[in-house]
């Protein structure tokens, strides 16, 4: 049964222990991050020296905190005192603890004993326990950044869990960079009580979460993990990166099947069977999850590419050759409809090359026709940025704003913004994914195309190949889903 993690992700109030005036200490940083992100509940700082830190009063003991005011305890104090803190907090109505402190199983044999004792105490008190040795928890619906590191993230519907804290940081950085926002994020640390699957189960029931992203290194009980992942996948997509995938697994060399059965091959099969989307590295995992979070699921693998210039489209179709995607021939009625919008020299095939002939509303109209066509399952839009790139050079040049430059520059910048907005609106309206790709998302993220997408929380892919790679994962997942619903 799914454990209710509301007290961990949406607490009404938080107690932070280990707060001191030293800005390098975990307790200080946690308090700082909570205040800076604008946590909407009440914050109680607890430290050895009573006084003030960051203009907040510091309590000498949890006993002085009003009962029922907090339901999350964020622990930055050493292992030796933490069980006592759990008891004191439980007496005040606290229902969950995030133990950022280390010195447990990861440290030494004494740490192993301390960890066992810690979870026993939490169990006895009926408290949820995250960590220990984790870097924190983020929950944007509560404006909560309870972390001993940065960054925070924009609000969105992607939820993250990791057995390694720094992978969470990478994903939060990518969230900030792309604008694709996060709902919940947690570093599972040693996962002494709550494991990765416990978090994923709660995410599956969390209305703020649309897609989950997980980094897993070790699995405790293979069969039960499989059953639980499969149950979660039927509700919401999960993207997983497996750490240590290349480590040569123990091989049962007695049989041929055994010799081919590396740990990784079996893990891979388990993911396919459970409907878990597996990504080879954290970056691709983020891109795939961000695509899932911001696009409808495609109904099939038939893809049409729309581009304002030839080479980009050809490269995109080439990239599809390595996937299960099908760059279909342009349906006849679609070709006829586009014929009415473009001069005769357009490509008349997939990719649809508009040969730069579009006027103000041509591209949105073409996108609408393509995405709305019954034989098209997904659209990839390329070429965003040609207009504003040229505009940017004009704006910087010595002739601006004379010679009619101001007017054309404004028009071109507006057009790029209009195009990417149209892509998002049309995807939503038609239920057909429309992916946008341009390297400007990396090289000049301030240009209107990528900037508009980022501000709206939509992913602008940095290349056609990467958009295709993510789209392929979406198509595979959609196929898994439909094979089980029919």
Interaction site with another protein (CB under 8 A): 219, 222-223, 226, 250, 252, 254-261, 263, 265-266, 268-270, 272-273, 480, 483-484
Question: CA triplet 254, 255, 256: central angle to 5 degrees?
Answer: 135
Distance CA 239, CA 409 (A): 41
Residue 52 vs 227, nearer CB to another protein: 227
Residue 123 vs 324, nearer CB to another protein: 324
Distance in Å, CB of 221 to another protein, minimum:
8
Q: What are phi and psi of 18, to 5 degrees?
A: 80, 25
Distance CA 213, CA 286 (A): 7
Residue 398 vs 486, nearer CB to another protein: 486
Distance in Å, CB of 470 to another protein, minimum:
20
Distance in Å, CB of 479 to another protein, minimum:
9
Distance in Å, CB of 268 to another protein, minimum:
7
Residue 110 vs 221, nearer CB to another protein: 221
Distance CA 105, CA 14 (A): 26
Instruction: Look at residues 328, 280, 334 and name the one whose alpha carbon lies nearest to residue 305.
Output: 328
Contacts with 325 (C-beta within 8 Å, 6 or more apart), sequence order: 301, 303, 378, 468, 471, 472, 475
Residue 207 vs 254, nearer CB to another protein: 254
Distance in Å, CB of 216 to another protein, minimum:
13
Distance in Å, CB of 324 to another protein, minimum:
9
Distance CA 111, CA 99 (A): 14
Distance CA 237, CA 292 (A): 8
Residue 161 vs 270, nearer CB to another protein: 270
Distance in Å, CB of 384 to another protein, minimum:
34
Distance CA 175, CA 24 (A): 26
Distance in Å, CB of 251 to another protein, minimum:
10
Distance in Å, CB of 222 to another protein, minimum:
4
Residue 257 vs 398, nearer CB to another protein: 257
Residue 218 vs 390, nearer CB to another protein: 218
Residue 19 vs 238, nearer CB to another protein: 238
Residue 241 vs 422, nearer CB to another protein: 241
Distance in Å, CB of 330 to another protein, minimum:
26
CB-hemisphere CA count at 13 Å for 8?
Answer: 27
Distance CA 443, CA 437 (A): 12
Distance CA 405, CA 387 (A): 13
């Amino acid at each position: 049964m799914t454990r209710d993690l509301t007290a961990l992700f949406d607490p009404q109030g938080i107690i932070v222990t280990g707060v001191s005036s030293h800005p390098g200490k975990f307790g200080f940083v946690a308090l700082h991050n909570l205040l800076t992100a604008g946590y909407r509940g009440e914050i109680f700082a607890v430290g050895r020296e009573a006084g003030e830190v960051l203009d907040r009063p510091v309590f000498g003991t949890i006993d002085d905190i009003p009962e029922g005011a907090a339901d999350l305890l964020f622990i930055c104090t050493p292992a030796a005192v933490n069980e006592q803190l759990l008891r004191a907090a439980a007496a005040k109505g606290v229902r969950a603890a995030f133990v950022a402190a280390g010195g447990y199983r990861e440290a030494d044999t004494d740490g192993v004993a301390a960890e066992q004792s810690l979870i026993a105490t939490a169990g006895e008190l009926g408290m949820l326990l995250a960590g220990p040795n984790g870097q924190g928890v983020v929950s944007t619906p509560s404006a909560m950044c309870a972390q001993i590191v940065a960054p925070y993230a924009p609000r969105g519907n992607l939820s993250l869990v990791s057995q390694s804290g720094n992978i969470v940081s990478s994903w939060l950085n990518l969230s900030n960079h792309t604008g694709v926002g996060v709902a919940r994020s947690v570093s599972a640390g040693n996962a002494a009580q709550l494991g990765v699957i416990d978090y994923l189960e709660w995410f599956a029931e969390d209305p703020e979460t649309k897609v989950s992203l997980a980094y897993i290194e070790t699995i405790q009980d293979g069969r039960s993990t499989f059953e639980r992942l499969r149950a979660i996948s039927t509700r919401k997509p999960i993207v997983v990166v497996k750490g240590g995938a290349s480590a040569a697994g123990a091989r049962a060399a007695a049989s041929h099947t055994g010799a081919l059965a590396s740990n990784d091959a079996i893990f891979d099969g388990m993911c396919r069977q459970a409907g878990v989307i597996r990504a080879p590295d954290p970056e691709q995992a983020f891109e795939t999850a961000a695509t899932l979070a911001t696009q409808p699921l495609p109904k099939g693998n038939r893809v049409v590419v729309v581009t304002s210039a030839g080479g980009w489209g050809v490269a995109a179709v080439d990239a599809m050759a390595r996937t299960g995607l099908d760059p279909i021939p342009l349906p006849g009625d679609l070709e006829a409809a586009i014929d009415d919008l473009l001069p005769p020299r357009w490509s008349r095939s997939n990719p649809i090359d508009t040969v730069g002939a579009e006027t103000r509303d041509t591209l949105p109209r073409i996108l609408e026709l393509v995405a709305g066509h019954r034989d098209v399952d997904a659209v990839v839009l390329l070429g965003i940025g040609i207009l504003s790139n040229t505009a940017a050079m004009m704006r910087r040049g010595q002739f601006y704003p004379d010679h009619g430059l101001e007017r054309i520059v404004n028009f071109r910048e507006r057009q790029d913004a209009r195009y990417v907005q149209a892509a998002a609106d049309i995807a939503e309206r038609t239920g057909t994914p429309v992916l946008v790709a341009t390297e400007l998302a990396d090289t000049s993220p301030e240009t209107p195309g990528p900037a508009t997408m980022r501000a709206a929380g939509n992913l602008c892919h940095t290349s056609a190949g990467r958009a295709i790679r993510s789209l392929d994962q979406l198509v595979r997942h959609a196929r898994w889903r439909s094979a089980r619903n029919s």
